[in-house]
Structure 1
Amino acid sequence: MLKFLKRPADGEGGGSGLDSNKTPRVEDGAEREGNGAQESAAPEPRTLMTWNCNGLTCRAQSAQQVAELQAMLWANQPDVVAIQEVRMPASAPKGAKKGDGQPRSRTVPNTNTPTGRKDADMVGKLLRSKELANYEVFYSLADWKYAGSALLVRRPCRPMRVRYSLSEGAPQGQHHTDGRVIFAEFETFDLLATYSPNNGWTPSSFERRRQWDAQVTEFLRRRREGGRAVVYVGDLNVAPEDIDLSHPEFFRTRAPEENGRGG
């Protein structure tokens, strides 16, 4: 599902609006991973899109879906595209296995296998097309073809800093192991994009989701108390209305004590 958000321009609606003439502040040691600090003012994003692609390589190998995606992006020109469930494994040493604890480069897709190289080539071709070539991509990837996120930012709208964890004080390069978090700081607002875990059907999966919700809530609270405006987007794995479910009556009776919680 695709969803769009548009931030008001200066003077529109309430609030302070955006000021693209401000010079972004960059804190020491807070550069974007692998890119260095921003040296000059950049325009702020105004149009945001979020999309659970359900496998980016699956979309990239379909000529029809590629054409539809390119046409949509060309027509709407979003400044930021948050993508969930990219399902591309992170770069790892040859022979690495899921959950083996070996170090990963989670901002880079794995090309150490024939399948990985093929998938990376397909996605790379898509990202180099004229409709997407002006976006900078930030990945947060899991060990295998599971979950994972990407953030596409139009190149004039460069974030001051990008992080990949909800843990305050975490090292700059630390990621959620499933690649569920991308957090970008712009001059006038913060952008949090997540692929929230599904509740599942077991007590342990419900507990995992409760812990996730508590961590996100605490993270957002800290940012707001620090005086930052926060935009929260992504696949939150919730179903606020019956129309969001294929079989609402079925799901309503599965865990009635959890009604009102994340789905």
Structure 2
Amino acid sequence: MKLLSWNVNGIRACLNKGLPDLLTSEQPDILCLQETKARAEQVELPLEFAGYHAHWNSAVKPGYSGVAVFSRLAPLSVRHGIGMEEHDQEGRVLTLEFPDFHLVNVYTPNAQNELKRLPYRMLWDVAFRDHLLALEATGKPVVFCGDLNVAHQEIDLARPKANRFSAGFSDQERDGFSQLLKAGYIDTFRHFFPDQTEAYTWWSFRGGARARNVGWRIDYFGVSPTLLPRLKSAGILADITGSDHCPVSLEIE
């Protein structure tokens, strides 16, 4: 089974910037999108999406945030949000239950300039981790993916010293991701490539950052430890443009 995750920075724009081509070339069984910035009825999907079951969770605020999942296999159930009203207004989580696992697509809140939203972000990290653990407690393992808005280690961004107190690389956000790993979840890219550098998934639009590969790795696939024997590969599709992020992939038996 091949899974792809991509922060498209607006699905309507990305449909004209390579998203249909990605479906054709990669043929994913499941495609998870973040920052869709649209409701389902606002989007006319092209023929490449035929055969996929579509599920959306959009923000209350128009044109903001939002996630979507397109799956060849019909899920047993779909859950919007994490069941907490204070966290479910921005369309940031979709949970799909399949026969063998739970899939969670997430677009984590950004701590923003001067870390002004960091206190909320810390509450979010705990609530999201509790959501994953509650799913785990049902007896099925979890696959989570999306834009987690944090570069965990210094090798996960090009300029760690300059960004030491920036959103996405604050000590608090990095510790939040560490707590996720301590809960047992596996960063699949680092499982296969523990020491690889210059492997990024997001680049600023400013200053030719992408051409110079001055980026951050903030998009992830994470899995429960019981799925470790079934992992086949994890990757970063850095040559796919159309957004300030690139897709990430996971292949699992």
Could you state the TM-score of these two structures normalised by the residue count of structure 2? 0.61
5+ long unaligned stretches in structure 1:
1-45, 91-107, 110-119
Matched with 2:76 is: 160
Q: Percent identity?
A: 32
Q: How many residues are paired up?
A: 174
Matched with 1:136 is: 53
- By how many angstroms is 1:259 displaced? 6.3
CA distance in 2, matches of 1:256, 1:49: 27
Matched with 1:209 is: 121
Q: Is this contact kept in 1: 2:122–2:173, CA < 8 A? A: no
Given candidates 125, 147, 154, the residue that maps to 2:65 is 147
- By how many angstroms is 1:74 displaced? 1.6
Matched with 1:5 is: none
- By how many angstroms is 1:224 displaced? 1.7
CA distance in 2, matches of 1:128, 1:72: 12
Pick 1 or 2: higher relative contact order, CA cutoff 8 A, min separation 6: 2
* 3-state SS of paired residue (1:250): coil
Matched with 1:260 is: 174
- By how many angstroms is 1:257 displaced? 4.7
Q: Is this contact kept in 2: 1:139–1:151, CA < 8 A? A: yes
Q: What pairs with 1:35-184 in structure 2 (closer than 5 Å)? A: 46-60=1-15, 62=16, 65=17, 68-88=18-38, 90=39, 108-109=40-41, 120=42, 123-124=43-44, 127-129=45-47, 131-142=48-59, 143-154=61-72, 157-167=73-83, 176-184=88-96
Could you state the TM-score of these two structures normalised by the residue count of structure 1? 0.59
Larger CA Rg, structure 1 vs 2: 1
Structure 1 residue identity aligned to 2:94: I
Quick check: which one's strand share is greater? 2
- Compared with structure 1, are the counterparts of its residues 140 and 161 closer, same or farther at alpha carbon in structure 2 (3 Å cutoff)? same
Q: Deviations over 1:63-109 (max 9, x none)?
A: xx2xx333331222111100000111x4xxxxxxxxxxxxxxxxx44
RMSD of equivalent CA atoms: 2.6
5+ long unaligned stretches in structure 2:
177-217, 219-253
Matched with 2:106 is: 194
- Compared with structure 1, are the counterparts of its residues 256 and 139 closer, same or farther at alpha carbon in structure 2 (3 Å cutoff)? closer
Q: Is this contact kept in 1: 2:150–2:174, CA < 8 A? A: no
CA distance in 1, matches of 2:20, 2:171: 43
- By how many angstroms is 1:248 displaced? 2.6
